[in-house]
Amino acid sequence: MSITVKNISKSFGNTKALNNVSFTINKGEIVGFLGPNGAGKSTMMKVLTTYHQADSGEAYVNSYDVTKDKKNVQKSIGYLAEHNPLYLDMYVKEYLNFNAEVYKVNKENIAKVIEQTGLGPESPKKIGQLSKGYRQRVGLAAALLHDPEVLILDEPTTGLDPNQLLEIRKLILEIGKEKTILLSTHIMKEVEAVCDRVLIIDKGCLVADKRLSDLRKEE
């Protein structure tokens, strides 16, 4: 099992961002985390990436406990935040180099992730010169640097124009051949385009867990 979540709850003041959420994700799956804004998607992702501590419940990534074994959890996860902080003044390679240093990753991986994310022709440029789609590739490349087993992508296609959207979907499908992916979105079309399975969350509660193939049969 790549991700196991058992009865996770998390409140911010009076807001119950997550209310007793449980699910599992198998190795190799691409799972959509679907719900309206404020449903609790980012909070769940931040619990998995160890940025937030849940109030109660348990969660494991590659069977490492998110509260007791943060280091191994972080090694297992590549994370693309919704508002990914990129340094617009840095060159693509410089940024990846900087990330590799911060996370103590072998720099040989830089060439590999540039190739993997189709950044090759853009890599001599500054991040600020790139389109939003290519900036998203830089974020993905940084998330892939340490060759994690699991990728957690928070709204990876929000704000992209139609062409960039298709390109990034294609890339996510390609990366998904080798990784387990949990991807949040508020758009069902996004789930249909790339996911094997969907978890639907509303007001902090998990309300559905469906295989896309079963959803198609129900239609």
Choosing from 23, 31, 43, 137, the residue that interacts with ligand ADP (CB under 6 A) is 43
Tell me the pairing of strands 197-202 and 30-34.
parallel
Q: CA-CA distances (angstroms) from residue 40 to 32, 49, 133?
A: 14, 14, 25
Query: Taking the C-alpha atoms of 104, 52, 17 and 150 in order, what is their torsion angle to the nearest 10 degrees?
Result: 30
Please name the amino acid found at residue 137: R
Instruction: Check binding of 156 to ligand ADP (CB under 6 A).
Output: no
Nearest approach in angstroms of CB 174 to ligand ADP is: 25
* Nearer of residues 194 and 199 to ligand ADP, judged by Cβ: 199
Length of the chain measured in residues: 219
Give CA–CA dist 58/21, Å, rounded.
10
Instruction: Check binding of 40 to ligand ADP (CB under 6 A).
Output: yes
* Nearer of residues 122 and 154 to ligand ADP, judged by Cβ: 154
Choosing from 39, 96, 150, 183, the residue that interacts with ligand ADP (CB under 6 A) is 39
Instruction: Check binding of 35 to ligand ADP (CB under 6 A).
Output: yes
Instruction: Check binding of 8 to ligand ADP (CB under 6 A).
Output: no
Instruction: Check binding of 133 to ligand ADP (CB under 6 A).
Output: no
Give CA–CA dist 160/142, Å, rounded.
19
Which residues lie near ligand ADP (CB under 6 A)? 12, 15, 17, 35, 37-43, 46, 51-52
